[in-house]
Amino acid sequence: MSTTFQLETSTSRANPTPRPMKRLTVPKIRTRKTDGKTGEPLVMLTAYTARQAQILDRHCDLLLVGDSLGQVIYGLPSTVPVTLEMMAAHGAAVVRGSYHAVVVVDMPFGSYEASKEQAFESASYLVKQTGAAAVKLEGGAPMAETIAFLNQRGIPVMGHVGLTPQAVNVLGGYAARGRTDAEAETIVGDAKALDDAGAFAIVIEGVVEPIAIEVTRSVSCPTIGIGASSQCDGQVLVTEDMLGMFERVPKFVKKFESISEVIERNVAQYAQEVRDRSFPGPEQTYQPKD
């Protein structure tokens, strides 16, 4: 989908240029249902900082401030320890750095499961603190009532079924889901329940391809795959995984670059030039005026 950009002159790191003239909206995302046949798939990537958002924004329909930041940014063993305050800080940065994509913020573990009232308090906090357009929460049919509750109070919700990382301790790991008839039936039922509750899109993670296709055909809202199927209505990856910042990544990740090698090579060159005193050179040194 083409985007009209308005060129601006800016020296501020907080204001990217060129700047899109109008941000996409949740209702527009909701209409991007393709069923794997027609229409342009949705593009979503994770973003955690303003500068990252600036670079990704023009290419993406959605930017997800994922709770994956717990592992990617903070080096935590899982997403479980991530807090609302962490999500709010990074969500606000991504909103400030973007002008085109719909920004969605993950609701962290423990911030919405107790009750729909707790979910509204947490979600409204995130929306007010960040300026994001929507929140995302994990879970199937048991979360349907909560999604409907949030929708009725003005907070759009993206659902998440299949492999749900916040439930890793219950699931026993990060293995693909839907390999048994029982799992497959549960995943399809979960997606339908979230769709009926008003989710504007549903992430399908780590699900065998036939089940991802069945879910996509069974719901009226767009599906966004991650380790699912190219026949989903869109795709998402963790940006750092896609760019090759980490050596170990899930099977479903395609590394489009090896940025870690680029960074290490440049850092090594910097270190060498500091040690041999060739940096800073005349170009980087201030001298008295004549």
Query: Is 138 annotated as belonging to a binding site?
Result: yes
Is the Cβ–Cβ distance between 188 and 230 less than 8 Å?
no
- Pairwise CA distance, residues 290 & 194, whole Å: 72
Choosing from 183, 205, 247, 273, which is the catalytic residue?
A: 205
Q: Is-catalytic flag, 8?
A: no
Of 117, 118, 177, 113, nearest in space to 139 by CA = 113
Q: Cα Rg for the chain, rounded, in angstroms?
A: 21
Token reading at 77: 């063993």
Query: Is 68 annotated as belonging to a binding site?
Result: yes
Cα dihedral 105, 111, 112, 113, rounded to 10, equals 130
Query: Is 67 annotated as belonging to a binding site?
Result: yes
- Pairwise CA distance, residues 15 & 204, whole Å: 33
Is the Cβ–Cβ distance between 44 and 243 less than 8 Å?
no
Is the Cβ–Cβ distance between 52 and 94 less than 8 Å?
yes
Query: Is 136 annotated as belonging to a binding site?
Result: yes
Q: State the catalytic residues.
A: 205
Binding site, annotated residues for Mg(2+): 67, 106, 138
Binding site, annotated residues for 3-methyl-2-oxobutanoate: 67-68, 106, 136
